[in-house]
Chains A and B, each alone.
Chain A
Amino acid sequence: MDFAARHIGFVIAAYAAAFLLVGGLIIAEWLRARAIRRRLEELERLGAPRRRQAANPGKPDSKKEQPA
């Protein structure tokens, strides 16, 4: 690549913009994943059940087949 060429600023700007946008997306995804992982760990530490049914063991699960 000839850095002294005409219009080279447009080429550099295009690549810089692409790197910034992709980099921003990667950072945003990583931060989101980290926040979710931390929240999940916190809930597991608190002993939160995985499903609603597990929270109410006495109640019948409406999705399960009931005996006739």
Chain B
Amino acid sequence: MGLDQDQFLYLLQAGRLAAMFNYLANPTRFLKIQAAVQPWLAALTVAVLGYGLYLGLFVAPPDYQQGETVRIMFIHVPASSLALGLYVFMAFAHAIGFIFRHPLAEVAAKSAAPIGAVLTLISLVTGSLWGKPMWGAWWVWDARLTSMFVLFLLYLGYIAVWQAVDEPHRAARIAGIVALVGVINVPIIKFSVEWWNTLHQPASLLRKGGPAVDPAILTPLLWNMAGFALLAATLLFMSMRAEVLARRVRQMEMAQVGRAG
């Protein structure tokens, strides 16, 4: 069975991607790349997020119905979307870890969890602070809010597994199952506003017919989404470095115990 040119090029690209993955999977190489990239990433985060917050707080006009409370959107929406995105990232990293046994995949997944948990909490808290003046309630058990709360519990459960199991590879296997099973909740959160009758508004960005948000609001929102994504990447890199070094410490401690014995 022969390959046509398109199939051959596709396989070539896939091979290159796999080779790049392998190249980056080396922890020592990762530490070098991280040390070089981290300061630039942090500076870019401060610049983009700072500009986004400036646009959101001082340039975007108040909403004709919601007034100034619409500004909560500039942190609520980026935090919520990234909370979902990081959970998908965690599940993907565990899938890569299960299939290819990449040493950095588990490290990446474990490091993403506290960031995702904090972003989910920001989403819940800012949503509650937005809900009170708009809906007249801090909290309602509607499908969107409840499924987002379940996401927060999944993050906590995932972190608890890593804390509870001492042996890292065993912890990774159990945590990976939590991540892969829990990812079912992500489409439930996304489509909850369509599948059920909710107090939460339907999707206004990723929907058929394009965003339903005015450009005066959409532009600051996109800047803040980019800023939050950069912030998550910066924190993820920081956390991954700490985790790689923590594993090195564990190895050295065990080696020392072995030497003493």
Query: Is A56 positioned at the interface, with any CB of B under 8 Å from its CB?
Result: yes
**How many angstroms between the C-alpha atoms of A24 and B28 in the bound complex?**
28
Query: Is B255 positioned at the interface, with any CB of A under 8 Å from its CB?
Result: yes
Inter-chain contact A48/B255, CB cutoff 8 Å: yes
Quote the shortest CB–CB distance from A2 to chain B (angstroms): 6
Query: Is B9 positioned at the interface, with any CB of A under 8 Å from its CB?
Result: no
- Write out the residue numbers on chain A whose beta carbons fall within 8 Å of the beta carbon of B118: 21-22, 24-25
Chain B: interface size category: 35 or more
Quick one: CB contact mask for B54-88 with A, threshold 8 Å, 1 for yes?
00011000100001110110011001000000000
- Write out the residue numbers on chain A whose beta carbons fall within 8 Å of the beta carbon of B79: 18
Task: Give the number of chain A interface residues (Cβ < 8 Å).
Answer: 38
A-B contacts besides A18-B125, A40-B245, 6 pairs, CB < 8 Å: A5-B67, A10-B130, A21-B118, A21-B122, A43-B252, A55-B259
**How many angstroms between the C-alpha atoms of A58 and B254 in the bound complex?**
17
Selected from B69, B231, B249, B258, the residue in CB contact (under 8 A) with A10 is B69
Query: Is B181 positioned at the interface, with any CB of A under 8 Å from its CB?
Result: no
Inter-chain contact A14/B72, CB cutoff 8 Å: yes
Which residues on A are within 8 Å of B, measured CB to CB?
A: 1-2, 5-8, 10-11, 13-15, 17-18, 21-22, 24-26, 28-30, 32-33, 36-37, 39-40, 43-44, 46, 48-52, 54-56
Inter-chain contact A52/B255, CB cutoff 8 Å: yes
Which residues on B are within 8 Å of A, measured CB to CB?
A: 57-58, 62, 67-69, 71-72, 75-76, 79, 114-115, 118, 121-122, 125-126, 129-130, 132-133, 231, 235, 238-239, 241-242, 245-246, 248-249, 251-256, 258-259
**How many angstroms between the C-alpha atoms of A59 and B245 in the bound complex?**
26
- Write out the residue numbers on chain A whose beta carbons fall within 8 Å of the beta carbon of B129: 10-11, 13-14, 17
Interface centre among A36, A46, A51 (most CB of B within 10 A): A36
Quote the shortest CB–CB distance from A49 to chain B (angstroms): 5
Inter-chain contact B235/A32, CB cutoff 8 Å: no
| 22 A–B pairs (Cβ distance < 8 Å), ordered by A | A2-B68, A6-B133, A7-B68, A8-B68, A11-B68, A14-B76, A18-B122, A18-B125, A25-B114, A26-B235, A29-B239, A32-B242, A33-B245, A36-B249, A39-B249, A40-B245, A40-B249, A48-B255, A49-B256, A49-B259, A55-B255, A55-B259
- Write out the residue numbers on chain A whose beta carbons fall within 8 Å of the beta carbon of B238: 29-30, 33
